[in-house]
Amino acid sequence: MKLRDLGLYLAWLVAIVATAGSLYLSEVRHFVPCTLCWYQRIMMYPLVILLGIASFRNDRGIIAYTLPMSLLGLATATYHVLEQNIPGFGAPQLCQLGIPCSVKYINWLGFISIPVMSLTAFTLISLFLILAIGRNKLPVETKLA
């Protein structure tokens, strides 16, 4: 079995680990999510269910729906990483209420923060989904009337 054949399963596994980590940090460690963290959760949590069902059914058609979600999450995570690491970066009105998006609850090895972990997860999911496309092309209907 090739890595390409496992793309859906690997993407699902990454989504499970990322979701479990997110829930651990908020429910066990009691870290309050900022606005950008909530947006990333909105993109990540459904991937667990969608990719899980698709993995069991070996339904590569779901990639057309999950890849855009993953890429949107990747863009949000990238923005969040930049906001945390570049002073003055970002829209001031986005994270005014609640926890500021620039707060770093964790800083492992001097660079690993929660948004960096999210960025890594969305990057891996996107790469695994793109890899899975190569096995069977997505069904594209081309009807010319």
Does residue 76 lie within any of the structural domains? yes
User: Mean pLDDT over all residues of the chain?
Assistant: 87
Residue 38 CB contacts under 8 Å (≥ 6 apart), including other chains: none
**What pLDDT sits at residue 138?**
47
What crossing angle do the helices spanning 63-85 and 7-23 adopt, rounded to 10°?
Answer: 40
The pLDDT-based confidence of 76 (bands split at 50, 70, 90) is very high
pLDDT band at 96 (very low <50, low <70, confident <90, very high): low
Tell me the mean pLDDT in the region 90-106: 71
Domain annotation covers residue 144: no
With respect to residue 141, please indicate whether it lies within any of the assigned structural domains. no
Range of the domain at 33: 3-133
Closest CA to 78 of 136, 23, 36: 36
The pLDDT value recorded for residue 79 is: 92
The pLDDT of residue 18 is above 70:
yes
What pLDDT sits at residue 123? 98
So what's the pLDDT on residue 15? 98
Residue with tokens 């948004």: 115
The whole-number average pLDDT for the span 103-115 is 84
pLDDT band, residue 143 (cuts 50/70/90): low
Is 145 contained in some domain?
Answer: no
Q: How many domains does the chain have?
A: 1
Per the domain annotation, does 99 fall within a domain?
Answer: yes
Q: What is the pLDDT of residue 95?
A: 63
In whole angstroms, give the CA distance from residue 50 to residue 137.
19
